[in-house]
Amino acid sequence: MWSLRTIGLSAVGLALVGGLAITAFRTDPIPVDTAPLVRGALSVTVDADGKTRIREVYEVSSPIAGTVLRLPVAVGDPVAKGVTVVAQVQPAVPTLLDARSRAQAVAALHEAEASVKFAEAEVARTEAQRAYAQSQFDRAKALADRGTASLTALETAAQQLQLAEADKLSAEARLAMSRAALESAQAVLAEPEQAPGDGDCCLPILAPADGVVLSVEGESARPVMAGAPLLSIGDPDDLEIVVDLLSSQATRLAPGASVEVGRWGGEGTLAAELRLIEPAARTVVSALGIEEQRVDAVLDFTSPPEMRAGLGQAYAVFVRIEEWRTEDALLIPLSAIFRREGQWFTYVLADGTAHEISIEIGRRDGRSAEVLAGVKAGDRVILHPPDTVGDGVEVVERDWQ
C-alpha cells in the first residue's frame, strides 16, 4: 500500500518532469521588425541619368577660305554680341600657275586684248555711221521744211539715225565686256603677293551672341576652308537637361511633369520640369548587345540659377521624373509584402501572433506600395519576414534599444 507521503512525493515528481518537458519543447516567440501602415503621399517616378546642356550653342565657322590667325579668345572668356572679335581670317593667297595653266592664261590674255581692239574698232565704225546718219537726217529735215523733200524721205532718215545710235550703244557695251574680260585674264597672270601682317588685311569675325567661349578647334594660326569650325559660344546660365529614356518609359510621361534633380555635385536637390519628349526614337545597342528604342526627354530648370552655381555644359545629373502622384494613399513598405501564386500577401502582427493576410496593391515606388484592399491604417506589418514566420506563429517585436 502506498502511503500518503509517497503519493504526494510522486505527484510532485511527475509535475516537475511534466513542467521540464513542456519547457524543453515549447517554441520561443520569433523576434521580428514591424512598421505601422500610414496614409500619405505616393509618387511614381521614372529615374534616369541625364546631362546638362546649354540651350543655345553658337558654332562659329570661317566664312572664307584662308588662314585663321591665332585666336584672340580662350575657353571661358566672356564675349559680347557684335562687339568681341573672336577670330580673324586672312584671305587665301592665290597659288602659282604651272606651265600649262600659265600658257592657257597667256593665250586667254591675248584673246582678250584682240577682243578689246575689235570692240574699239566697232565703236569707231558705229560712231562714224551715226555721224553720217545724223547729217542725212539734218539734210532731209531741212529739205522737208522747204517743201523740196517728201515726209517719207524724212522718216527714212530718222529711222537710219535711230539704228545708228543703237549700233553705237551696242558696240560700246561690247567694248566694256571685252575690257572686263581683259582685266580678268590679267588677274589670272598676276603674281601672288604676301599679304601684310596687320589687322587690316584680315576679315574680323564678331561674337554672334553674349556668353562665354565653350570650346575652340585650335588656338594657333592654321589654314582653313570656308565653313571650317573655329569655336563655339554659349550662355552657361541658360541650361537645360537632356535625358536618354527607353521609349516605353517615355510614353508614360507628359510635358509639364515635375522633376527632382539630384547627384549634381551641390547641396540638396534642384527642381525642373519636363518640357519636351522628342517625337522620334532611335535604335541603340546596349552593353549586353540588346537593341533598344531610346528617345531624348528635355527638362527645364525651375530652380533659380543661384541655386545651381557651378553647373555647366554636359555635366552629369540624376533625375526623377514624376509619372503619377497622389496625396492620400495607404502605404505599405515593399519589404513587408511577398508574392505567391500570383497573389500579394503580408504578415500582420496582432496579439503576439503573425497573421497572413491577402492584399491588393496598386502603384509602387522604390520604397512603398499603395494598398487597395486587405489591411487598414494602423495595422502593424512584419518587415522582411524570415522563413520561420508563418500564419499563426508567435512573434515578438524586436527591441532595438
Give the ranges where 93-150 is alpha helix by DSSP (H).
99-146
Q: What is the reported pLDDT for 21? A: 55
Q: Is the pLDDT of residue 391 over 80?
A: yes
Grid coordinates representing 323?
Answer: 509619372
CA distances from 213 to 56, 226, 239, 306, 343 (A): 13, 21, 15, 21, 59
* Mean pLDDT, rounded, for 134-158: 81
Cβ neighbour number for residue 158 with a 10 Å cutoff: 15
Supply the pLDDT for residue 92.
78
Determine the Cα–Cα distance for residues 199 and 334; give it in Å rounded to an integer: 71
Length of the chain equals 401
The cell for 170 is: 551696242
Q: Which 8-state DSSP code applies to residue 306? A: G
Q: Enter the DSSP assignment of 391.
A: T
C-alpha–C-alpha distance, residues 242 and 317, integer Å = 10
pLDDT in tens, 290-328: 999 999 999 999 999 889 888 989 999 999 999 999 999
- Identify which of 302, 307, 315 has the alpha carbon closest to the alpha carbon of residue 275: 302
Q: Which of 41-50, 142-151, 355-364, 384-393 has the lowest mean pLDDT?
A: 142-151
d(CA 20, CA 14): 10
pLDDT at residue number 297: 97
Q: Given this model, what pLDDT does residue 199 score?
A: 45
Alpha helices, DSSP H, located in 291-340: none
CA atoms of 226 and 229, how far apart (whole Å):
9
| pLDDT tens-digit readout, 69-93 | 999 999 999 999 999 999 999 987 7
For 3-12, write each residue's pLDDT tens digit. 666 666 667 6
pLDDT for res 195: 47
Of 380, 376, 243, the closest CA to residue 320 belongs to 243
pLDDT in tens, 147-165: 777 778 878 888 888 888 8
Whose cell is 550653342? That residue is 57
CA 350 to CA 348: how far, in whole Å?
6
Of 104-108, 174-178, 198-202, 236-240, the one with minimum mean pLDDT is 198-202
Give the pLDDT confidence of 203-217 residue by residue, as tens digits: 999 999 999 999 999
Measured CA to CA, the distance from residue 44 to residue 320 in angstroms comes to 9
Of the pLDDT bands very low, low, confident and very high (cuts 50, 70, 90), residue 187 is confident
Whose CA is closest to 370, among 103, 117, 40? Answer: 40
pLDDT band at 273 (very low <50, low <70, confident <90, very high): very high
3-class DSSP state of 243:
strand
Share of the chain above pLDDT 90, in %: 52
Most confident residue range from 20-29, 37-46, 147-156, 188-197 = 37-46
What phi and psi values does residue 165 have, to the nearest 5 degrees? -65, -40
210/240 Cα distance (integer angstroms): 18
C-alpha 367/C-alpha 334 separation (Å) is 6
Per-residue confidence (pLDDT) for residue 91, from 0 to 100: 87
| pLDDT at 4 (0 to 100) | 64
d(CA 59, CA 136): 70
SS3 (DSSP) at 2:
coil
**Residue 379 confidence (pLDDT):** 94
Q: What is the pTM for the complete model shown?
A: 0.64
The Cα 396–Cα 389 span in angstroms is: 11
C-alpha cell read off for 58: 553658337
How far the first Cα of the chain sits from its last, in Å, is: 59
Q: Are 322 and 59 in contact (CB under 8 A)?
A: no
199 alpha carbon, distance to own chain's centre: 36
Return d(Cα 145, Cα 153) in angstroms, integer.
12
pLDDT score, position 19? 59
- The residue with cell 577660305 is 65
